[in-house]
Amino acid sequence: MRPYPFSAVVGMPDLRLALVLSAISPAVGGVLVRGEKGTAKSTMVRALAGLLPGVDVVDGCRFSCDPADPDPACPDGPHPDGAPGHRRPARLVELPVGAAEDRVVGSLDLERALGDGVTDFQPGLLAGAHRGLLYVDEVNLLHDHLVDTLLDAAAMGRATIEREGVSVSHAARFVLIGTMNPEEGELRPQLLDRFGLTVEVSSSREPAERMEIVRRRLAYEADPEGFAGGYADDERRLAADIDAARRRLPSVRLTDDALRQIAEVCAAFEVDGMRADIVTARTAVAHAAWAGRDSVTTDDVRVAARLALPHRRRRNPFDAPGIDSEELEQALRDAEPPDPVPPDDGPDGPDGPGSGGPAPGEGEDPGTGDADRGHGDADRGHGDADGGHGDADGGHGDADGGHGGAGERRQVGAGRPYRARLFTVGGTGMGARGRRSRAETDSGRTVGVRPHGDRGSGAPHLPATVRAAAPHQRARGRRGPGLVLRPGDLRYARREGKEGNLVLFCVDASGSMGARARMREVKSAVLSLLLDAYQRRDKVGLVTFRGREAEVALPPTISVDAAAARLESLPTGGRTPLAEGLLRAAEVLRVEALRDPRRRPLLVVVTDGRATSGNDAVARSHAAADLLAATGVTSVVMDCESGRMRLGLAATLARRLGGEHVPLGEVAADALAHEVKRRAA
């Protein structure tokens, strides 16, 4: 089936432009497409491949070497000068989220390497994408080890494969394009920064446009060849325009004024590092070439900043990416070069006194600007005062909340997150690679070997393989220098690293937790643990309980952003159905164990330990805790009790769960270090 034509896609002008600019200048660094499901992200990306100019490759080279400039280290080389070649279309290579590392970087035949002394390397997806496009759908779900591989290749322009002392390297320069749904989790900052441009897409809210999208899609499915043929002329013109812009690109001038604009805009938005400036400059040059200009203008800088800066403004994973158009326009105006000043003809010149500067009332008066900024600060001060009154109101509400009215719903925002203590699951797991608990993984330090037939995810272990084969060489009639290997001789490394876990938060949102200052502290602690879960590549879930029932506020997901949003809007009030909260958490863990049995859970119960809802509330909560303890789940009880008279109920709950008891003030990593030093003294 022919791909859907690029020219037939309705709407999404920013995505269309970003993909075209990446095709014109691969040095821009590719595109990250963020958007909800069903918005034709993948359709647009796959359609782009048909618009790219072809590439010249050496005949018989599996690594797409250019006959005019072959890779001296090519595994199929070295290629002689003037090696025969041919022209082929540029490739779009798709990297599946669940691909094995050997499939991505390539693999070595260990049996031939040991037995025949031959390095038989089978190229992977990175070799196939060289001088083309590498497309990763759902890139935010990519495993960490593949992310590391992509980062290395994107930074170096080469892929290096090492297997037990045998090393192979080849060129791997490609345009990286990724699509993702932010609801399913965010990207690691390192990979996010590697994408040159980012675009947010969403489905149209215009009925006429939605009708046209459906009409075209149905027509394409009914007759793909005929539908694509109807856009053939448009596709040819667009491909010709891209090719012409590519040829024009080297002659486009980036003037000092344009470069100063780029630098000042990037500084105004406080982006990290210098990659933003470089990418913005490259994008502005590509846009000028696309527009047919021979030098970069303010319009080119504006477009480049809108595409290159949004994902580089984030300060933590919970910040939404984006760029405010008014801020951008103000930054561009501030960065514009000053108008030339006319010659000064003296105080009595033709323009009158003071002609060299703006007349009163014109331009910006620095004093007035400072005054305006001062008023802005004053306004913010009044906002703080209002916030103070809000706290006072909240205090009255807390007093009411102590009565336990089940219908009350109050919301308290979280404070700033901090570096949290590390909580781990005991033992050794075999879950997805992460950074929390000890596990057997396909990377890390080698702790043993596996026999043939029990490869797991480990790579071949050369010394163990040689030891297994050595006693049988005479019986196998070995004559040459190489070993005579059989499949049963192969041994595989057993390695130990870290895994990601399921961190399930069970949060008490009852009236006894509703004191405004305390709830803000609780939310800050949970937000800090969520940030820690993001950095350690965990799944997270959120169960809350208040009034008479518990609910799953967020089913287990890798989207830590979604958990943070649910936490921020969490209302408090009512009685404390502790037993219901624990039982609902047990049910979530049971279901998730069926869906993802290799991922071990960590239960974090956030409560003061009170149980006040229903008959025999305390006994039922103890029974629920005993049920959870019997499952063997690792648990942590974050004790939120405060005041002089403390009942110690959370500590009792922790003992029944067989878990760790952590006072709220000791969740921060530096708080633990301070406590250790105090006790040592």
Residues belonging to the active site: 275
Q: Check: CB of residue 113 under 8 Å from CB of residue 119.
A: yes
Q: Check: CB of residue 426 under 8 Å from CB of residue 439.
A: no
d(CA 581, CA 505): 10
Is it true that the peptide bond before 350 is cis, omega within 30 degrees of 0?
no
Q: Check: CB of residue 490 under 8 Å from CB of residue 381.
A: no
Which tokens is 441 given?
């993984």
* Helix boundaries (H) for 495-577: 516-535, 560-568
Given the DSSP bridges, would you call strands 502-508 and 492-499 parallel, antiparallel or unpaired? Answer: unpaired
How many other CB atoms are there within 10 angstroms of residue 322's CB atom? 13
**List of residues 6+ apart from 422 with CB closer than 8 A:** 436, 532, 669
**DSSP assigned state of 458:** P
* DSSP letter for each residue of 471-486: GGTTTTT--SSS----
Q: Check: CB of residue 607 under 8 Å from CB of residue 647.
A: no
Burial of 364 (0-12, 13-18, 19+ CB in 10 A): exposed
The closest alpha carbon to 668, from 569, 528, 477, 543, belongs to: 528
d(CA 373, CA 360): 20
d(CA 21, CA 284): 9
How many other CB atoms are there within 10 angstroms of residue 573's CB atom? 25
**List of residues 6+ apart from 83 with CB closer than 8 A:** 58, 59, 67, 70
Rg of the chain, C-alpha, whole Å:
31
Residues belonging to the chain:
681
What residues form DSSP beta bridges with 167? Answer: 162
**DSSP assigned state of 131:** T
Backbone angles phi, psi at 168, to 5 degrees: -135, 140
Tokens 């959120």: give the residue.
542
Instruction: End-to-end CA distance of the chain: give it in Å, rounded.
Output: 74
**DSSP assigned state of 574:** S
The closest alpha carbon to 637, from 670, 667, 600, 679, belongs to: 667
Q: With the CA atoms of 345, 349, 352 and 354 taken in that order, what torsion angle do they form, in degrees rounded to the nearest 10?
A: 20
Backbone angles phi, psi at 605, to 5 degrees: -100, 120
Which tokens is 607 given?
């409560």
* DSSP letter for each residue of 318-370: TSPP---HHHHHHHHHHHSPPPPPPP---TTSTT-TTTTSPPTTSS--HHHHH
Tokens 């006894």: give the residue.
512
How many other CB atoms are there within 10 angstroms of residue 653's CB atom? 26
Longest dimension (CA), the chain: 111
Q: Check: CB of residue 559 under 8 Å from CB of residue 184.
A: yes
